[in-house]
Every structure is written in structure tokens, then in C-alpha cells.
Structure 1
């Protein structure tokens, strides 16, 4: 299960500017948000990507 050490880089990049999405794609069983970072199971991320959820 991902925790803060897994999203350390995504948390740090927020200091560089605004990003529309910060996403950790992994084998977690359920999506969740940790420190403003979306943690998504691979299948859910791909479904969202294929449905243009991140481009609109």
C-alpha cells in the first residue's frame, strides 16, 4: 500500500509550480488521495486515460 515515502517526489514537484494532476499509478486495490496526490490502481488509471478524463 503506497504511503508518503512513495509520493515524496510528487509532493516535492508541487513546489515547482501548478500541475493539473499528480498521480501515482500502482497496484493499490482502491483509488484514494494522499497529500493531494491521486493514488490509482493501474486499471482505473488506464480507463480514465482512455476515456480522456485527463485531457478535457
Structure 2
């Protein structure tokens, strides 16, 4: 089973940030539509189970 912390779309929140928690990060995914590209972000933890869009880090 894969976890969010192993995904290229997972970015840790820096310790200096106001909403820092140990193991917390953002899942950031790029999308495209007729107007251009944009990014979706949602808060996740490193140990959360990976989603269907999971892309392992090299």
C-alpha cells in the first residue's frame, strides 16, 4: 500500500508556516481546461493512504 509521503505531488509544510503540523503537507495537482492550466491543493498527511492519482517519487 502506498502513502502520500511517497508521491511526487506531496509537499511538506515548512516548520515556519502557521498551519505546520508534523507530517502535514499539501497534495498539489495540475489540471488543464480550455482557459489554461491551474493547480488544485488539499491538505494531507504523509501517512495517509495514496489516492488513484498517486505518482511515486523516482
Q: Same fold (TM over 0.5)?
A: no
The interval holding the TM-score normalised by the smaller chain is under 0.3
TM-score after normalising by structure 1 = 0.22
Q: Which has the higher helix share?
A: 1
Q: Which has the higher strand share?
A: 2
Question: TM-score w.r.t. structure 2 length?
Answer: 0.22
Higher RCO, Cα 8 Å, sep 6+: 2
Quick check: which has more Rg, 1 or 2?
A: 2
